[in-house]
Amino acid sequence: MPSRLPSQASKSYGTLRQPPQHRSHHISSRTLVRSALDISARTSTISQPPTFLLPFRASLHQASTQQAVSPTSQFHNTQPEIPPPLLQTTDVNALSPSPESSESTSITTAPSTTQSLSQPLVLSRSLQEFLPKLCVQKPHYIVAHIHRFPYLLTEGDTLRLPFHMKGVSPGDVLRFNRASILGSRDYTLKAGTSNTESYDAKRTGEPTYLDERLFECRMRVVGLETGPMMDKEKKKRRNRHRKIVHSKHKYTVLRVMQIKIKNLEELNQEKATLLLES
Amino acid sequence: MVVQGVKTVSKAQNGLGAFILQCKRIDFHYCDWAGSSRGMKSFLTSPLLAQFTSRYPGVEFRVSPRPNKHPILKAYYINGREKAVCVRNLEREQILKKADFLVANSGKKNELIRGKTVVSQNENVRGIWSPMHGGIKSI
């Protein structure tokens, strides 16, 4: 990983132009480096647009254990293709048949993911009650979304993406910030269901996501794979001409390094982001 | 009856903690005479080669002539397999793409995988549903 830094620095265009708008929902460590270069270039150059014209950026909130590793690092907050709806309810349902969980209170309104980093993170009383239990119960799973598609992941899984992710190289660490479900054996934290009707019916809407400050999901780029060469014969009737089309697709392979659900103390340590309802 | 330990086999999960690149060596072969290795020779003399090799310090790179043959890239992997790509008449940027792919590859055979995007070795987090336990409704 550190050996790639000089090659990044040698790319002169990376320092001059505006940071690229990544439309996908992942943040690579390469864009991290590029953003670091952008920051240094932007402070030096005077021809800089005002702050409100700059592309929206915000720092993903690291846990307190990892803040020491990259204190100055800033991530690009990726814009989703369709902005998620404003209302996002968070349900905490305990699967155990206790009377308090049978109420299944879903009052919490966490703000949407794009504006969430500027707005405070609001936790309802039920979330305050059940989030520590979810954190403690250790094997976690997450339903992470890339380009709106859900992938159910646990730690150590191999995810073979159905496309070739550009701009990453093996060894890079990505952080997924779109997830709809976090869970353990007995507890599940779901994003709200305000938009799921249209999402399920026609698969056109954007699913609702959890607030990205609640969890950390890190993926490592393991490599690039291909399928075998596929041959397809194209033939029209009453015509002797036949054409054979060859196709060979590439797929990026990722491995889940870490799925971490932040507990209340870590959320409290973030500066002025937490607002507890009581 | 002696208590017997459960045999566990360690499972390979490259990238979970440490990450090891699967490619260990790449050979660049060219021919001085033939025109099909024109792009290969320009790749080898351009700064692209140094930029590419400096990104992968753990991989061995060899450049050697292969007279009267087309230029090829040959990659050797940890699992003992090797992959060769013929790069005749390709430009140097195309050759760089092929080399990028060979470095990032795992060295396994190309297999057609349909539908299995997530492969997990872990047990199911929520357990397996059982009709005998929980959620029994009284009729």
- Residue A98 to chain B, least CA–CA distance (Å): 12
**Interface list for A 4-63 with B (CB within 8 A):** 4, 6-7, 10
Of A73, A103, A76, the closest CA to residue A22 belongs to A76
- Mean model confidence pLDDT for chain A: 69
- For chain B, give every domain's residue range: 23-104
Question: In chain B, pLDDT over 90 holds for what percent of residues?
Answer: 76
pLDDT band at B34 (very low <50, low <70, confident <90, very high): very high
pLDDT given for residue B52 in this prediction: 96
User: Which span out of A32-36, A169-173, A274-278 was modeled with the highest average pLDDT?
Assistant: A169-173
B101 DSSP assignment: H
User: Within an 8 Å CB–CB cutoff, is residue B125 touching chain A?
Assistant: yes
pLDDT at A208: 83
Half-sphere exposure at residue B11, Cβ-oriented, CA atoms within 13 angstroms:
10
By CA distance, what is B20's nearest residue in A? A171
The structure's pTM equals 0.69
B13 interfacial to chain A (CB closer than 8 Å): yes
Condensed to tens digits (0 to 9), the pLDDT of residues A112-155 reads 445 556 777 878 888 888 999 999 998 999 999 999 899 999 99
Min Cα–Cα distance to chain B from A278, Å = 31
Hey, are the CB atoms on A223 and B108 less than 8 Å from each other?
no
B117 vs A: CB within 8 A: yes
Band (pLDDT 50/70/90 cuts) for residue B49 is: very high
- The token duo for B32 is 């001085």
Average pLDDT on A224-240 reads 96
Whether the predicted pLDDT of A216 surpasses 60: yes
The CATH number of the structural domain formed by B23-104 is 3.40.30.10
Which residues are CB-contacts of A201 (< 8 A; sequence separation ≥ 6)?
Answer: none
Q: Does B14 touch chain A (CB under 8 A)?
A: yes
Residue A192 has pLDDT above 90, yes or no: no
**Segment among A22-26, A215-219, B64-68, B108-112 with least mean pLDDT:** A22-26
A66-92 mean pLDDT: 41
In the prediction, which pLDDT does B115 show? 85
pLDDT at A222: 95
Residue B138, pLDDT score: 78
**Residues on chain B touching A152 (C-beta within 8 angstroms):** 118
Mention every residue, 6+ apart, whose C-beta is less than 8 A from residue B50. Answer: none
Angle at CA of residue B125, ends B120 and B127, nearest 5°: 110
Q: How far is CA A173 from CA A23, A254, B104, in A?
A: 18, 9, 15
Residue of A nearest to B49 (CA): A7
Read off the pLDDT of residues A13-52 as tens digits, 9 standing for 90 and up: 433 444 444 444 454 555 544 544 444 444 444 444 454 4
What pLDDT band is residue B5 in, cutting at 50, 70 and 90? confident
Residue A237 CA to residue A105 CA, distance in Å, equals 63
Residue B132 forms contact with A (CB below 8 Å): no
Using a CB–CB cutoff of 8 Å, tell me whether B115 touches chain A.
Answer: no
pLDDT above 90 covers what percent of chain A?
38
Q: Is the pLDDT of residue B106 over 90?
A: yes
Per the CB < 8 A criterion, the answer to whether B17 and B51 are in contact is no
Is B51 a residue whose pLDDT tops 80?
yes
Q: What is the pLDDT of residue B103?
A: 96
Q: pLDDT-based confidence at B62, cuts 50/70/90?
A: very high
Burial string for A145-159 (b: 16+ CB within 10 Å, else e) reads bbebeebbbbbbbbb
Q: Report pLDDT for A193.
A: 61
Residue A151 with chain B: CB contacts under 8 Å: 117-118
Looking at chain B, which runs of residues are DSSP E strands? 23-30, 60-65, 72-77, 82-86, 118-119
- Residue A217 predicted with pLDDT over 90: yes
Q: How many residues does chain A have?
A: 278
A106 DSSP 8-state letter? -
pLDDT at B8: 77
Confidence of residue A271 (pLDDT cuts 50, 70, 90): low
